[in-house]
Each structure stands twice: as C-alpha cells, then as structure tokens.
Amino acid sequence: MELEPLLPILPLTAQVNTSGHLVLGGCDTVELAHRFGTPLYVLDELTMRTMCRQFRHEFRSRHPDTTIIYACKAYIGLAMASLVAQEDLGADVVSGGELAFLITVGFSPEKIYFHGNNKSPQELEEALRYQVGRVVVDNFYELELLERVAAQLGRRQPVLLRISPGVDPHTHAKTTTGTVESKFGIPIADGQAREAVAKAGSSEHLELVGLHFHLGSPIFDVAPYQEAIRITIGFAADALGPRFQELGVGGGFAAQYVPQQPPPSISAYAEAIVHALKEECRRYRIPTPRLVVEPGRAIVARAGVALYTVGAWKAVPGGKRYISVDGGMGDNIRPALYGAQYVALLANRLLEPATERVTVAGKFCESGDVLVWDAHLPSPRPGDLLAIPAAGAYTLAMASNYNASLRPAVVMVKDGEARLVRRRETYKDLLQCEVWP
Ligand code: LLP
C-alpha cells in the first residue's frame, strides 16, 4: 500500500517493519492484536504529548498569557487525564463524570473549566466543592442556579459567560454551535448577553471574569475564529469594561482524517487568533485579556489507531464488495452519525499493493453501520488486521454497548512498550447494573 500519503494521518511514530506490519510507538500492531485482542484502540503517547506541546508553544510564543485546556469530551481515561496534567494543560469538562476522572488522578481543580448547557444542581455543587477554576455559564437559568449553589456553599465562584456570537463555522450541522439558533450560549445580537453580563456582574457569589464562545468542530478555516473575536471584543469592550480579563475561544481545531483534506497547522490557527485578539483590543483601547484555548480533537485524533479483525465478506450485484470487521458503530459512531470519512489499511500487509475497493462494514445490526465506504486495500481476507487511523477523538468517548457489545480495550504505546489503560469489557460489566429478579 502507498503509505506516504497516509503519514500525516498516522501517529508520529508510525513505521512499517520488514514483515510489512504497522508499528506504532515501537510496537508491532499484529503482536498488539494477539496480546490484547481486537477491536483494540492504540494511543501513541508521543503524538499526544507533541500536540499538547505544540499548542502551548504556538499560542504562548505569540501571547504568553494563554491557557490551554484539553477538552476531555474528545477522549478521557485515567491515563489520559494524568498525561494532560503532566503536560501542564488545564482541562475542560462537561459533566460530573469527566470531573471524576480528573479528580481521581489528582488534577489541579483550579485548572478545570466546567462547561455545558444544562449542568445539574449536583454537578454544580461538585464543581464548587472541588473548587474548579471556572464555571462557564451557558444561560440565565444556570446563572440563578449557580448563584444559589454558591451562596449555599459560601463561595464566590469565578465565571465566564458563554455568549453566542452568531458566526457560522461551516461544520457539519450537528456540530455547529456558534450560530444564534444553537442550543448553546447567550446571543449577543438581541441584547440577552448584555443583560446576562449585568446580572452576573451584580451577583454577590459570582465573579464575572470574562467571556467564552465555541463555534463548532472541526473548523477547517481560521476566518470564523477571527470574525467571532471581532464581534466578541466589540461587545466586551462596551459591556464588561475592566471585568474583561479572559476570553475563551473554544476548540474546533481540525485533525486530518483523509489525505485530501489537510487542516490548517496549529501555528496558523494561533497566528490568526492571536492577531485578531490583539488587533481588536488595540482598536477598542483595552488591555489584551488572557486567552483560553480548548483543543480536544487536535490532541488525540491522530494519536489513535483502531485495530479490527476482518471476518465476513460478501459481494453484491453491481460488483461492490463488503468486508465486515469485529467492531463498528459501537466504538466509532462518527461515520454513521456525521458521514465522517476515514481511510483503512491492512496493518499486517502494508507492503502489498492496494488492488481492491471495498466497503468496510461494522458488525452491528444496522445498515448504516459502515466505517469506510470506499477503502482501497490489498484484497482483504478473513483474519487480516484492519487499521483505521485518526481514530483517537470522539470514538471511544462516544462508544456504546449497542447490541450488548463489549467496548474495546485501550493501550498506550511508547518506546516499544504497550500499557493497557482500559481493559476490554466483559459480560459481567454488561450485567452489573441490572437489577434482577
Ligand atoms: N470547547 C467546547 C465548549 C466544546 O463544545 C468543544 C467540543 C470543544 C471545546 C472541543 O472541540 P474540539 O477541539 O475537540 O473540536 N462529536 C463530534 C464533535 C463534537 C464537539 C463538541 N464540542 C465529532 O465527533 O466530530
């Protein structure tokens, strides 16, 4: 197979050994599959750490007062939480569950931002008891709820207000959030954001320190960030004055899934965002606030490779051929949900030329359970090891037990060592929450 065009999609440590096997983090993936079974998610530690460092470097070299927080929704596990802490990043959580992962590994609470459009009273209480750094308030209901919870706990909580700038980032409709019709954030356009600022500003138990927006994901263009910054700074200069100490510009930084669609580099995103931020602050003669950046996908997507074993195949009239693998929409729902594109390769036969176009189907009872519609492979056979690169983000994080299937194991690889960080589920795991008879 032609590996060259796939290199930007594979982890940084990807190699082919003399047997034609894909090697990740110094580990032969065929051996990993024997040792841990399939489906298996392999996370390359070096790629994740490199992405964390790139974000820090590219933003901080342009604007030293930048906080990078990892968006846990892309993928969270205890090993991941601890890696993020070691890399000195903060974290964005959207549930008490994500918070629990971070707290378990001793993550510094003041580096945690709590997001979400419907945080429960219990989640807010947990957040405040742990003393998270920021709660990002999404709506008027939450403003009142948080005020009550903070009063009960005798705490003054620093908050950002999530505003809706009314900018379309041209992502898939299901992952667009910056427009005024979105369920997230308080619109600037009709005066609601101004009212929220007044309300938060006069609160006894909330300390308003800035604003936040998130436009959508993935955003393959830098222009929407710039437009949203222009709108938000104009609003902040007028409505917040000196309380405007911090601006969160969300995540949405794209990852590369297929050779034809390379994303902007991290430095291109950083350049565009910091430039717009400084320029707008100059225009309004206000100090440049701290910048908060929330990458999720861009940290983990490329680090992850999903490994499956090829099983059944069939030909349909018209010449199309299906091959089926032992995972699918239960561990990666993105193709079924968003029409997301991936490539596939045969991790045990990388030196053989791709001769056939096949559709890679999952094993779940649903016609839409397809992982790759048009994979170009050396004629696949049952027992082959099929790899899907760029599978680290929003796959395991969105995994389900549909068809009472078992969610896969996860290994982190580094310098020839493979570390099991999540074991494969068992039938016992499936049954343990059932109450019977
Ligand atoms: N910050 C906020 C407030 C967010 O809502 C999100 C993602 C992020 C940061 C991180 O965005 P990222 O850098 O990962 O693009 N399930 C979809 C993606 C949903 C993103 C939701 N919010 C997918 O698989 O494409």
Task: Tell me the pLDDT tens digit for each residue of 190-205.
Answer: 999 999 999 999 999 9
**Residue to probe by mutation, ligand 1, list 217, 332, 394, 400, most atoms within 8 Å of CB:** 217
pLDDT tens digits along 293-326: 999 999 999 999 999 999 999 999 988 899 999 9
Is residue 385 within 8 Å of residue 29, measured between CB atoms? yes
Q: Which residues are annotated as catalytic?
A: 365
Residue 180: its pLDDT value, please? 82
Half-sphere exposure of 131 (CA within 13 A, CB side): 5
Q: Is the CB of 253 under 6 A from ligand 1?
A: yes
For residue 48, what are the contacts with CB-CB under 8 A and spacing of at least 6? Answer: 80, 83, 299, 300, 303, 392
For residue 402, what are the contacts with CB-CB under 8 A and spacing of at least 6? Answer: 329, 330, 364
- Given the candidates 3.90.1150.10, 2.40.37.10, 3.40.1130.10, 3.40.50.2300, the CATH classification of the domain at 4-37+303-431 is 2.40.37.10
Q: Which residues pair with 134 in a beta bridge?
A: 113
Q: Parallel, antiparallel, or unpaired for β 385-388 and 345-346? A: antiparallel
Instruction: Kindly give the parts of the chain with pLDDT less than 50.
Output: none
Residue 90: its pLDDT value, please? 98
Residue 112: its pLDDT value, please? 98
Residue 352: its pLDDT value, please? 97
Q: With CA atoms as reference, report the closest residue to 155 among 134, 121, 131.
A: 131
Residue 192: its pLDDT value, please? 96
Half-sphere exposure of 312 (CA within 13 A, CB side): 9
Other beta carbons within 10 Å of 374? 12
In angstroms, the CA 258 to CA 341 distance is 7
In angstroms, the CA 430 to CA 103 distance is 25
What class has domain 46-299?
alpha beta
CB-based burial of residue 427 (10 Å sphere; 0-12 exposed, 13-18 middle, 19+ buried)?
Answer: exposed
Domain coordinates in residue numbering, the chain: 4-37+303-431, 46-299
Q: Is the CB of 162 under 6 A from ligand 1?
A: no
- Ligand 1 atom showing the smallest separation from residue 217 Cα: 15
**Residue to probe by mutation, ligand 1, list 68, 70, 73, 253, most atoms within 8 Å of CB:** 73
Closest residue CA from atom 15 of ligand 1 = 252
In angstroms, the CA 281 to CA 259 distance is 38
